[in-house]
Amino acid sequence: MKDETLLAKWLNNELEGAELEAFMASPDYATYNKIKEYSAQLTVPEADMDALYKRINTNKNKPKVRKLNPWLPRIAAMLVMALGATYFFYTNNTTTQLAVAGERTSFLLPDNSEVTLNAASEADYKTWNWKNNRKLQLDGEAYFKVAKGQTFDVVTAMGKVTVVGTQFNVKARGSRFDVTCFEGKVRVTSNNTTTLLTPGKSIAFEDGKLIMMPTEENNKPGWLTYEVKFHAEKFANIISELERQYNVDIQLNTQQPDKAFTGAIPMNNINDALEIIKTTYQLKSQKTGNKIILSVE
Amino acid sequence: MKNNPPTGICEEITFSTFFKSHAKSLRNYLYYKFGNEEQAQDVAQEAFIKLWENCASVPPEKAKSFLYTVANNTTLNQIAHQKVVLEYNRKSPGNNTDSQSPEFLMEEEQFKTKLQKAIDKLTEAQRTAFLLHRIDGKKYHEIAEILGISVKAVEKRLHGALLELRKEIDNLR
Protein backbone atom coordinates (compact mmCIF):
# COMPACT_ATOMS: atom_id res chain seq x y z
CA MET A 1 0.00 0.00 0.00
CA LYS A 2 1.38 3.33 -0.98
CA ASP A 3 1.33 5.71 1.88
CA GLU A 4 0.97 8.79 -0.29
CA THR A 5 -2.48 7.78 -1.56
CA LEU A 6 -3.82 6.02 1.54
CA LEU A 7 -6.04 8.86 2.70
CA ALA A 8 -7.43 9.24 -0.80
CA LYS A 9 -8.30 5.55 -0.91
CA TRP A 10 -10.02 5.82 2.42
CA LEU A 11 -11.91 8.95 1.36
CA ASN A 12 -13.17 7.05 -1.66
CA ASN A 13 -14.23 4.06 0.51
CA GLU A 14 -11.68 1.87 -1.16
CA LEU A 15 -9.85 0.95 2.01
CA GLU A 16 -10.77 -2.36 3.55
CA GLY A 17 -9.64 -5.22 5.77
CA ALA A 18 -6.51 -4.86 7.83
CA GLU A 19 -5.51 -1.55 6.29
CA LEU A 20 -8.83 0.02 7.17
CA GLU A 21 -8.68 -1.35 10.69
CA ALA A 22 -5.18 -0.10 11.19
CA PHE A 23 -6.14 3.32 9.94
CA MET A 24 -9.23 3.47 12.14
CA ALA A 25 -7.04 2.67 15.11
CA SER A 26 -4.75 5.63 14.43
CA PRO A 27 -5.12 8.67 16.73
CA ASP A 28 -5.89 11.03 13.85
CA TYR A 29 -8.74 8.92 12.54
CA ALA A 30 -11.42 10.82 14.43
CA THR A 31 -10.40 14.13 12.84
CA TYR A 32 -10.17 12.61 9.37
CA ASN A 33 -13.58 11.13 9.77
CA LYS A 34 -15.01 14.47 10.80
CA ILE A 35 -13.38 16.14 7.79
CA LYS A 36 -14.97 13.55 5.56
CA GLU A 37 -18.36 13.93 7.20
CA TYR A 38 -18.53 17.71 7.31
CA SER A 39 -16.92 18.38 3.97
CA ALA A 40 -19.75 16.33 2.44
CA GLN A 41 -22.15 18.96 3.76
CA LEU A 42 -20.37 21.81 2.04
CA THR A 43 -22.18 23.69 -0.66
CA VAL A 44 -21.06 26.25 -3.13
CA PRO A 45 -22.92 29.54 -3.72
CA GLU A 46 -25.52 28.96 -6.38
CA ALA A 47 -25.02 30.53 -9.74
CA ASP A 48 -27.79 31.45 -12.10
CA MET A 49 -27.02 28.97 -14.84
CA ASP A 50 -29.97 30.03 -16.98
CA ALA A 51 -28.65 33.56 -17.09
CA LEU A 52 -25.23 32.22 -18.01
CA TYR A 53 -26.75 30.19 -20.82
CA LYS A 54 -28.57 33.22 -22.12
CA ARG A 55 -25.40 35.26 -22.12
CA ILE A 56 -23.56 32.53 -23.96
CA ASN A 57 -26.37 32.34 -26.48
CA THR A 58 -26.32 36.05 -27.23
CA ASN A 59 -22.54 36.07 -27.45
CA LYS A 60 -22.09 32.97 -29.52
CA ASN A 61 -24.16 34.33 -32.37
CA LYS A 62 -22.31 37.60 -32.51
CA PRO A 63 -19.89 37.90 -35.34
CA LYS A 64 -16.58 36.71 -34.12
CA VAL A 65 -13.87 39.16 -33.39
CA ARG A 66 -11.07 37.23 -34.91
CA LYS A 67 -7.89 37.14 -32.97
CA LEU A 68 -4.90 37.62 -35.18
CA ASN A 69 -2.58 34.76 -35.50
CA PRO A 70 0.29 35.98 -33.29
CA TRP A 71 2.64 35.50 -36.22
CA LEU A 72 0.64 37.66 -38.57
CA PRO A 73 1.66 41.03 -37.13
CA ARG A 74 5.26 39.89 -37.02
CA ILE A 75 5.21 38.73 -40.61
CA ALA A 76 3.45 41.95 -41.59
CA ALA A 77 6.06 44.01 -39.77
CA MET A 78 8.86 42.15 -41.52
CA LEU A 79 7.20 42.66 -44.89
CA VAL A 80 6.79 46.35 -44.22
CA MET A 81 10.44 46.62 -43.26
CA ALA A 82 11.54 44.65 -46.32
CA LEU A 83 9.35 46.79 -48.55
CA GLY A 84 10.62 49.93 -46.88
CA ALA A 85 14.22 48.87 -47.37
CA THR A 86 13.54 47.97 -51.00
CA TYR A 87 11.74 51.25 -51.58
CA PHE A 88 14.51 53.18 -49.90
CA PHE A 89 17.13 51.33 -51.88
CA TYR A 90 15.22 51.63 -55.13
CA THR A 91 14.32 55.30 -54.86
CA ASN A 92 17.80 56.20 -53.72
CA ASN A 93 19.56 53.95 -56.13
CA THR A 94 21.85 56.16 -58.18
CA THR A 95 23.08 55.16 -61.59
CA THR A 96 26.56 56.30 -62.40
CA GLN A 97 27.94 56.62 -65.91
CA LEU A 98 31.63 57.12 -66.29
CA ALA A 99 34.01 58.00 -69.09
CA VAL A 100 37.63 57.51 -68.13
CA ALA A 101 40.45 59.63 -69.52
CA GLY A 102 41.01 59.02 -73.21
CA GLU A 103 37.53 57.51 -73.66
CA ARG A 104 33.98 58.60 -74.20
CA THR A 105 30.71 57.07 -73.14
CA SER A 106 27.29 57.41 -74.71
CA PHE A 107 24.20 56.27 -72.89
CA LEU A 108 20.45 56.65 -72.93
CA LEU A 109 18.42 57.94 -70.01
CA PRO A 110 15.11 56.23 -69.12
CA ASP A 111 13.21 58.63 -71.42
CA ASN A 112 15.64 57.94 -74.28
CA SER A 113 17.41 61.26 -73.89
CA GLU A 114 20.93 60.85 -75.17
CA VAL A 115 24.00 61.75 -73.21
CA THR A 116 27.55 61.62 -74.48
CA LEU A 117 30.16 61.94 -71.80
CA ASN A 118 33.48 63.43 -72.77
CA ALA A 119 36.68 61.92 -71.44
CA ALA A 120 37.15 61.90 -67.66
CA SER A 121 33.56 62.79 -66.86
CA GLU A 122 30.95 61.38 -64.58
CA ALA A 123 27.16 61.58 -64.59
CA ASP A 124 24.91 60.41 -61.72
CA TYR A 125 21.15 60.11 -61.83
CA LYS A 126 18.28 58.23 -60.28
CA THR A 127 16.16 56.13 -62.60
CA TRP A 128 13.28 56.02 -60.13
CA ASN A 129 10.48 58.38 -61.16
CA TRP A 130 12.74 59.72 -63.89
CA LYS A 131 9.81 61.00 -65.93
CA ASN A 132 8.90 63.54 -63.24
CA ASN A 133 12.36 64.15 -61.93
CA ARG A 134 14.77 64.52 -64.80
CA LYS A 135 17.86 65.50 -62.93
CA LEU A 136 21.44 64.58 -63.58
CA GLN A 137 24.59 65.39 -61.68
CA LEU A 138 27.52 66.15 -63.91
CA ASP A 139 31.19 66.40 -63.21
CA GLY A 140 33.04 67.03 -66.44
CA GLU A 141 31.68 67.58 -69.91
CA ALA A 142 28.73 66.11 -71.69
CA TYR A 143 26.54 66.68 -74.68
CA PHE A 144 22.81 66.22 -74.26
CA LYS A 145 20.02 65.46 -76.64
CA VAL A 146 17.04 65.72 -74.37
CA ALA A 147 13.69 64.14 -75.21
CA LYS A 148 10.60 66.30 -74.82
CA GLY A 149 8.98 66.16 -71.42
CA GLN A 150 9.31 67.70 -67.99
CA THR A 151 12.17 70.08 -67.30
CA PHE A 152 15.56 68.51 -67.45
CA ASP A 153 18.19 69.62 -64.96
CA VAL A 154 21.90 69.23 -65.23
CA VAL A 155 23.43 70.02 -61.88
CA THR A 156 27.10 70.84 -61.65
CA ALA A 157 29.28 72.20 -58.89
CA MET A 158 29.22 75.60 -60.57
CA GLY A 159 25.67 75.96 -61.70
CA LYS A 160 22.51 74.42 -62.93
CA VAL A 161 21.31 74.03 -66.50
CA THR A 162 17.59 73.67 -67.01
CA VAL A 163 15.97 72.74 -70.29
CA VAL A 164 12.78 71.23 -71.61
CA GLY A 165 13.65 69.39 -74.79
CA THR A 166 16.78 70.40 -76.57
CA GLN A 167 20.39 69.73 -77.46
CA PHE A 168 23.13 71.33 -75.47
CA ASN A 169 26.60 70.90 -74.14
CA VAL A 170 27.69 71.35 -70.57
CA LYS A 171 31.26 71.54 -69.41
CA ALA A 172 32.12 71.73 -65.76
CA ARG A 173 35.82 71.29 -65.35
CA GLY A 174 37.74 72.63 -62.40
CA SER A 175 36.68 76.27 -62.20
CA ARG A 176 35.47 76.44 -65.80
CA PHE A 177 31.78 76.21 -66.58
CA ASP A 178 30.61 76.27 -70.19
CA VAL A 179 27.14 75.77 -71.59
CA THR A 180 26.29 75.84 -75.28
CA CYS A 181 22.79 75.53 -76.66
CA PHE A 182 22.35 73.78 -80.01
CA GLU A 183 18.59 73.43 -80.15
CA GLY A 184 15.61 74.64 -78.12
CA LYS A 185 16.16 76.79 -75.06
CA VAL A 186 18.51 76.36 -72.17
CA ARG A 187 18.35 78.14 -68.86
CA VAL A 188 21.64 78.40 -67.01
CA THR A 189 21.78 79.32 -63.37
CA SER A 190 25.16 80.09 -61.89
CA ASN A 191 26.28 82.54 -59.23
CA ASN A 192 22.67 83.62 -58.70
CA THR A 193 22.30 84.81 -62.26
CA THR A 194 20.06 83.12 -64.74
CA THR A 195 20.73 83.29 -68.46
CA LEU A 196 18.49 81.99 -71.19
CA LEU A 197 20.40 80.54 -74.12
CA THR A 198 18.97 80.21 -77.60
CA PRO A 199 20.49 77.95 -80.30
CA GLY A 200 24.07 78.83 -81.12
CA LYS A 201 24.53 80.81 -77.91
CA SER A 202 27.03 79.89 -75.27
CA ILE A 203 27.84 81.08 -71.82
CA ALA A 204 31.02 80.47 -69.92
CA PHE A 205 32.40 81.24 -66.48
CA GLU A 206 35.94 81.03 -65.29
CA ASP A 207 36.20 81.22 -61.51
CA GLY A 208 32.69 82.61 -61.53
CA LYS A 209 33.61 85.39 -63.96
CA LEU A 210 31.53 85.65 -67.10
CA ILE A 211 33.35 85.14 -70.38
CA MET A 212 31.78 86.41 -73.60
CA MET A 213 31.52 83.61 -76.08
CA PRO A 214 31.19 83.78 -79.89
CA THR A 215 28.16 82.29 -81.60
CA GLU A 216 28.46 78.59 -82.26
CA GLU A 217 28.08 77.82 -85.92
CA ASN A 218 28.08 74.09 -85.80
CA ASN A 219 25.06 72.15 -84.72
CA LYS A 220 27.10 69.91 -82.44
CA PRO A 221 29.90 70.54 -79.99
CA GLY A 222 33.33 70.21 -81.58
CA TRP A 223 34.53 67.54 -79.21
CA LEU A 224 32.02 65.08 -80.65
CA THR A 225 33.97 65.24 -83.90
CA TYR A 226 37.29 65.47 -82.09
CA GLU A 227 37.76 69.11 -83.07
CA VAL A 228 37.57 71.10 -79.86
CA LYS A 229 37.17 74.83 -80.01
CA PHE A 230 38.43 76.93 -77.17
CA HIS A 231 37.58 80.50 -76.49
CA ALA A 232 39.67 82.53 -74.11
CA GLU A 233 40.64 79.38 -72.30
CA LYS A 234 43.42 79.41 -69.72
CA PHE A 235 46.58 77.58 -70.70
CA ALA A 236 46.17 75.23 -67.74
CA ASN A 237 42.68 74.29 -68.92
CA ILE A 238 43.99 73.43 -72.38
CA ILE A 239 46.68 71.20 -70.88
CA SER A 240 44.10 69.50 -68.64
CA GLU A 241 41.86 68.87 -71.62
CA LEU A 242 44.72 67.35 -73.60
CA GLU A 243 45.57 65.14 -70.64
CA ARG A 244 41.98 63.98 -70.43
CA GLN A 245 41.50 63.41 -74.13
CA TYR A 246 44.78 61.62 -74.81
CA ASN A 247 45.11 60.11 -71.35
CA VAL A 248 48.63 61.43 -70.95
CA ASP A 249 50.54 63.25 -68.27
CA ILE A 250 51.80 66.66 -69.35
CA GLN A 251 54.47 68.41 -67.37
CA LEU A 252 55.38 72.04 -67.88
CA ASN A 253 59.03 72.83 -67.21
CA THR A 254 58.59 76.55 -67.37
CA GLN A 255 56.37 79.30 -66.06
CA GLN A 256 52.71 79.03 -66.91
CA PRO A 257 51.96 81.29 -69.91
CA ASP A 258 49.40 84.02 -69.16
CA LYS A 259 47.97 84.20 -72.64
CA ALA A 260 44.55 82.63 -73.01
CA PHE A 261 43.98 80.30 -75.92
CA THR A 262 41.38 80.74 -78.59
CA GLY A 263 41.19 78.27 -81.43
CA ALA A 264 40.58 74.65 -82.31
CA ILE A 265 42.63 71.66 -81.29
CA PRO A 266 42.16 68.17 -82.72
CA MET A 267 41.55 65.50 -80.15
CA ASN A 268 42.34 62.49 -82.29
CA ASN A 269 45.90 63.32 -83.23
CA ILE A 270 48.22 64.09 -80.37
CA ASN A 271 51.09 65.25 -82.57
CA ASP A 272 48.94 67.82 -84.38
CA ALA A 273 47.53 68.94 -81.07
CA LEU A 274 50.96 69.37 -79.51
CA GLU A 275 52.17 71.18 -82.62
CA ILE A 276 49.45 73.82 -82.20
CA ILE A 277 50.30 74.34 -78.54
CA LYS A 278 54.01 74.48 -79.24
CA THR A 279 53.59 77.02 -82.03
CA THR A 280 51.24 79.22 -80.03
CA TYR A 281 53.34 79.31 -76.87
CA GLN A 282 56.84 78.80 -78.38
CA LEU A 283 57.53 75.57 -76.54
CA LYS A 284 59.22 72.30 -77.36
CA SER A 285 58.05 68.86 -76.30
CA GLN A 286 59.65 65.61 -75.31
CA LYS A 287 57.55 62.46 -75.17
CA THR A 288 58.44 59.36 -73.20
CA GLY A 289 55.67 56.81 -73.02
CA ASN A 290 52.65 58.48 -71.43
CA LYS A 291 54.60 61.44 -70.24
CA ILE A 292 55.08 64.66 -72.16
CA ILE A 293 57.41 67.39 -71.00
CA LEU A 294 56.95 70.88 -72.33
CA SER A 295 59.80 73.35 -72.00
CA VAL A 296 60.94 76.67 -73.42
CA GLU A 297 62.41 76.47 -76.92
CA MET B 1 -23.43 30.08 -46.92
CA LYS B 2 -23.72 26.32 -46.79
CA ASN B 3 -27.09 25.05 -45.84
CA ASN B 4 -25.99 21.74 -44.41
CA PRO B 5 -27.89 21.08 -41.22
CA PRO B 6 -25.60 21.57 -38.24
CA THR B 7 -24.39 18.38 -36.60
CA GLY B 8 -22.78 17.48 -33.27
CA ILE B 9 -22.14 20.36 -30.91
CA CYS B 10 -23.19 22.82 -33.61
CA GLU B 11 -26.73 21.54 -33.24
CA GLU B 12 -28.57 23.84 -30.87
CA ILE B 13 -30.18 21.00 -28.92
CA THR B 14 -26.88 19.14 -28.45
CA PHE B 15 -25.15 22.27 -27.30
CA SER B 16 -27.89 23.09 -24.84
CA THR B 17 -27.90 19.54 -23.44
CA PHE B 18 -24.16 19.62 -23.13
CA PHE B 19 -24.36 22.94 -21.34
CA LYS B 20 -26.92 21.61 -18.85
CA SER B 21 -24.83 18.59 -17.95
CA HIS B 22 -21.46 20.34 -17.68
CA ALA B 23 -21.86 24.04 -17.03
CA LYS B 24 -22.40 23.78 -13.31
CA SER B 25 -19.40 21.52 -12.74
CA LEU B 26 -17.23 23.78 -14.82
CA ARG B 27 -18.38 26.86 -13.01
CA ASN B 28 -17.87 25.23 -9.61
CA TYR B 29 -14.43 24.03 -10.59
CA LEU B 30 -13.49 27.54 -11.71
CA TYR B 31 -14.88 28.94 -8.50
CA TYR B 32 -12.65 26.60 -6.43
CA LYS B 33 -9.78 27.66 -8.60
CA PHE B 34 -10.25 31.42 -8.54
CA GLY B 35 -12.26 31.89 -5.37
CA ASN B 36 -14.23 34.51 -7.27
CA GLU B 37 -17.75 33.96 -8.56
CA GLU B 38 -17.55 36.58 -11.26
CA GLN B 39 -14.34 35.23 -12.73
CA ALA B 40 -15.69 31.71 -12.60
CA GLN B 41 -18.76 32.82 -14.57
CA ASP B 42 -16.73 34.78 -17.09
CA VAL B 43 -14.29 32.00 -17.80
CA ALA B 44 -17.08 29.43 -18.03
CA GLN B 45 -18.91 31.67 -20.48
CA GLU B 46 -15.74 32.14 -22.50
CA ALA B 47 -15.09 28.40 -22.62
CA PHE B 48 -18.60 27.62 -23.86
CA ILE B 49 -18.38 30.31 -26.53
CA LYS B 50 -15.05 28.91 -27.70
CA LEU B 51 -16.63 25.50 -27.84
CA TRP B 52 -19.45 26.88 -29.96
CA GLU B 53 -17.03 28.63 -32.28
CA ASN B 54 -15.16 25.38 -32.76
CA CYS B 55 -18.23 23.14 -32.74
CA ALA B 56 -17.57 21.88 -36.25
CA SER B 57 -14.15 20.56 -35.37
CA VAL B 58 -14.85 19.23 -31.88
CA PRO B 59 -16.67 15.89 -31.81
CA PRO B 60 -19.21 15.56 -28.95
CA GLU B 61 -17.13 12.97 -27.10
CA LYS B 62 -14.22 15.43 -27.02
CA ALA B 63 -16.30 18.42 -26.04
CA LYS B 64 -15.85 18.03 -22.30
CA SER B 65 -12.10 17.80 -22.46
CA PHE B 66 -12.06 20.74 -24.91
CA LEU B 67 -14.13 22.78 -22.47
CA TYR B 68 -11.82 22.17 -19.53
CA THR B 69 -8.71 22.67 -21.61
CA VAL B 70 -9.94 26.07 -22.71
CA ALA B 71 -10.92 26.94 -19.14
CA ASN B 72 -7.54 25.85 -17.80
CA ASN B 73 -5.70 27.81 -20.44
CA THR B 74 -7.64 30.98 -19.84
CA THR B 75 -5.40 33.06 -17.74
CA LEU B 76 -7.17 36.08 -16.51
CA ASN B 77 -5.63 39.19 -15.25
CA GLN B 78 -5.57 37.27 -12.09
CA ILE B 79 -7.02 39.10 -9.23
CA ALA B 80 -5.29 37.71 -6.17
CA HIS B 81 -7.00 34.56 -5.10
CA GLN B 82 -9.94 35.36 -2.96
CA LYS B 83 -11.42 33.33 -0.18
CA VAL B 84 -13.55 30.47 -1.40
CA VAL B 85 -16.79 31.06 0.40
CA LEU B 86 -18.47 27.80 1.17
CA GLU B 87 -21.49 27.08 3.25
CA TYR B 88 -22.78 24.03 5.06
CA ASN B 89 -25.96 22.42 4.02
CA ARG B 90 -28.50 23.52 6.62
CA LYS B 91 -30.50 20.38 6.54
CA SER B 92 -27.88 17.72 6.52
CA PRO B 93 -29.61 14.43 6.04
CA GLY B 94 -29.20 11.95 8.87
CA ASN B 95 -28.03 14.57 11.30
CA ASN B 96 -30.85 15.09 13.62
CA THR B 97 -29.44 18.10 15.37
CA ASP B 98 -32.35 18.33 17.74
CA SER B 99 -31.28 15.24 19.59
CA GLN B 100 -27.70 16.46 20.17
CA SER B 101 -26.50 18.05 23.36
CA PRO B 102 -25.65 21.78 23.27
CA GLU B 103 -21.96 21.01 23.94
CA PHE B 104 -21.89 18.72 20.97
CA LEU B 105 -23.56 21.32 18.77
CA MET B 106 -21.06 23.96 19.79
CA GLU B 107 -18.16 21.66 19.14
CA GLU B 108 -19.66 20.80 15.79
CA GLU B 109 -19.93 24.48 14.83
CA GLN B 110 -16.36 25.09 15.88
CA PHE B 111 -15.14 22.20 13.83
CA LYS B 112 -17.05 23.40 10.78
CA THR B 113 -15.46 26.83 11.02
CA LYS B 114 -12.01 25.30 11.39
CA LEU B 115 -12.59 23.11 8.38
CA GLN B 116 -13.56 26.14 6.28
CA LYS B 117 -10.42 27.98 7.36
CA ALA B 118 -8.29 24.93 6.68
CA ILE B 119 -9.76 24.46 3.21
CA ASP B 120 -8.95 28.05 2.41
CA LYS B 121 -5.33 27.43 3.32
CA LEU B 122 -4.93 24.54 0.92
CA THR B 123 -3.02 25.01 -2.28
CA GLU B 124 -5.13 25.66 -5.36
CA ALA B 125 -4.33 22.19 -6.71
CA GLN B 126 -5.33 20.43 -3.49
CA ARG B 127 -8.41 22.57 -2.94
CA THR B 128 -9.87 22.10 -6.43
CA ALA B 129 -9.39 18.33 -6.33
CA PHE B 130 -10.80 18.05 -2.81
CA LEU B 131 -13.86 20.19 -3.44
CA LEU B 132 -14.63 18.56 -6.77
CA HIS B 133 -14.82 15.30 -4.85
CA ARG B 134 -16.61 16.50 -1.74
CA ILE B 135 -19.07 19.01 -3.20
CA ASP B 136 -19.60 17.89 -6.77
CA GLY B 137 -19.19 14.21 -5.99
CA LYS B 138 -16.79 13.75 -8.89
CA LYS B 139 -15.14 10.36 -9.25
CA TYR B 140 -11.35 10.34 -9.17
CA HIS B 141 -11.13 9.58 -12.87
CA GLU B 142 -13.42 12.53 -13.60
CA ILE B 143 -11.25 14.85 -11.52
CA ALA B 144 -8.24 13.51 -13.37
CA GLU B 145 -9.89 14.39 -16.67
CA ILE B 146 -10.85 17.88 -15.52
CA LEU B 147 -7.40 18.72 -14.22
CA GLY B 148 -5.62 16.97 -17.05
CA ILE B 149 -3.64 14.74 -14.68
CA SER B 150 -3.53 11.01 -13.87
CA VAL B 151 -5.82 9.29 -11.35
CA LYS B 152 -2.77 8.50 -9.31
CA ALA B 153 -1.90 12.18 -9.19
CA VAL B 154 -5.46 12.96 -8.06
CA GLU B 155 -5.08 10.44 -5.25
CA LYS B 156 -1.82 12.01 -4.19
CA ARG B 157 -3.38 15.44 -4.15
CA LEU B 158 -6.33 14.28 -2.09
CA HIS B 159 -4.06 12.45 0.30
CA GLY B 160 -2.04 15.60 0.67
CA ALA B 161 -5.18 17.68 1.07
CA LEU B 162 -6.51 15.49 3.88
CA LEU B 163 -3.15 15.51 5.60
CA GLU B 164 -2.98 19.30 5.45
CA LEU B 165 -6.55 19.73 6.60
CA ARG B 166 -6.02 17.48 9.58
CA LYS B 167 -2.81 19.25 10.57
CA GLU B 168 -4.38 22.66 10.18
CA ILE B 169 -7.40 21.69 12.24
CA ASP B 170 -5.14 20.22 14.92
CA ASN B 171 -3.19 23.48 14.97
CA LEU B 172 -6.33 25.51 15.36
CA ARG B 173 -7.30 23.51 18.37
Quick: pLDDT tens for A161-172.
Answer: 998 778 899 999
CA distance linking residue B129 with residue B154, whole number of Å: 7
Q: Is B40 on the interface with A (CB under 8 A)?
A: yes
Question: What is the DSSP secondary structure assignment for residue B88, as one 8-state letter?
Answer: E
The answer to whether residues B59 and B123 belong to one domain is no
Count of CB pairs separated by less than 8 Å, A with B: 108
The answer to whether residues B68 and B112 belong to one domain is no
Q: Is A53 on the interface with B (CB under 8 A)?
A: yes
pLDDT for residue A253 is more than 90:
no
Average pLDDT, chain A: 87
| CATH classification at residue B162 | 1.10.10.10
Average pLDDT, chain B: 83
pLDDT for residue B115 is more than 70:
yes
Domain assignment of residue B88, yes or no: no
Predicted local distance difference test score (pLDDT) of residue A15: 86
pLDDT for residue B80 is more than 60:
no
Give chain B's length. Answer: 173
Number of independent structural domains in chain B: 2
The answer to whether residues B120 and B67 belong to one domain is no
Strand partners, A188: A161, A195
Domain assignment of residue B87, yes or no: no
**What average pLDDT does the segment A233-254 reach?**
90
CA distance linking residue A75 with residue A295, whole number of Å: 72
CATH number assigned to the domain with residue range A94-225, chosen from the 4 options 1.10.8.50, 2.60.120.1440, 3.40.50.720, 3.40.50.150 = 2.60.120.1440
pLDDT for residue B45 is more than 60:
yes
Q: Is B19 on the interface with A (CB under 8 A)?
A: yes
The answer to whether residues B130 and B162 belong to one domain is yes
Contacts of A9 in chain B (CB under 8 A): 155
Considering the segment(s) A226-297 as one domain, its CATH architecture is 3-Layer(bab) Sandwich (3.55)
Predicted local distance difference test score (pLDDT) of residue A124: 93
Q: What is the pLDDT of residues A66-103, one digit of tens each?
A: 666 778 888 888 999 999 988 888 777 888 999 888 88
Q: Across the interface, do B49 and A47 touch by the CB < 8 Å criterion?
A: no
**What average pLDDT does the segment A235-262 reach?**
89
ipTM computed for the complex: 0.81
Q: Across the interface, do A7 and B112 touch by the CB < 8 Å criterion?
A: no
* Choice among A258-262, B36-40, B166-170 with the minimum mean pLDDT: B36-40
Predicted local distance difference test score (pLDDT) of residue B1: 44
CA distance linking residue B97 with residue A18, whole number of Å: 33
The answer to whether residues B168 and B106 belong to one domain is yes
> CA of A43, closest CA in chain B: separation in Å?
5
Domain assignment of residue B84, yes or no: no
Please name the member of B20, B23, B86 whose beta carbon is closest to the beta carbon of A44: B86
Give the residue, B83 or A267, on which the prediction is more confident.
A267
**What average pLDDT does the segment A126-139 reach?**
89
Q: Is B126 on the interface with A (CB under 8 A)?
A: no
Q: What is the pLDDT of residues A99-117, one digit of tens each?
A: 888 889 999 999 989 999 9
Beta carbons within 8 Å of A21's beta carbon, 6+ residues apart: none
The answer to whether residues B67 and B101 belong to one domain is no
Confidence of residue B35 (pLDDT cuts 50, 70, 90): confident
Backbone angles phi, psi at B127, to 5 degrees: -65, -50
CA distance linking residue B164 with residue B170, whole number of Å: 10
Q: Across the interface, do A5 and B162 touch by the CB < 8 Å criterion?
A: no
Give the residue, A277 or B87, on which the prediction is more confident.
A277
**What average pLDDT does the segment B52-68 reach?**
86
Q: Across the interface, do A53 and B119 touch by the CB < 8 Å criterion?
A: no
Domain assignment of residue B91, yes or no: no
The answer to whether residues B13 and B59 belong to one domain is yes
- CA-nearest of A184, A276, A190, A291 to A230 is A276
Q: Is B83 on the interface with A (CB under 8 A)?
A: no
Q: Is B133 on the interface with A (CB under 8 A)?
A: yes
Confidence of residue B72 (pLDDT cuts 50, 70, 90): confident
Give the residue, B76 or A272, on which the prediction is more confident.
A272
> CA of A40, closest CA in chain B: separation in Å?
5
Q: Across the interface, do B24 and A43 touch by the CB < 8 Å criterion?
A: no
The answer to whether residues B156 and B107 belong to one domain is yes
Chain A residue closest to B129 (CA)? Answer: A8
CA distance linking residue A32 with residue A11, whole number of Å: 9
The answer to whether residues B110 and B154 belong to one domain is yes
Q: Is B105 on the interface with A (CB under 8 A)?
A: no
Which residues of chain A form CATH 3.55.50.30?
Answer: 226-297
Q: What range does the domain containing B45 cover?
A: 8-73
Q: Is B134 on the interface with A (CB under 8 A)?
A: yes
Q: What is the pLDDT of residues A197-221, one digit of tens each?
A: 999 999 999 888 888 888 888 888 8
Give the residue, A92 or B21, on which the prediction is more confident.
B21
- Mutation site for A-interface testing, chosen from B13, B96, B134 by largest number of A Cβ within 10 Å: B134
Which residues of chain A form CATH 2.60.120.1440?
Answer: 94-225
Q: Across the interface, do A4 and B92 touch by the CB < 8 Å criterion?
A: no
Q: What percent of chain B has pLDDT over 90?
A: 23
Chain A residue closest to B158 (CA)? Answer: A8
Beta carbons within 8 Å of A83's beta carbon, 6+ residues apart: none
pLDDT for residue B4 is more than 70:
no
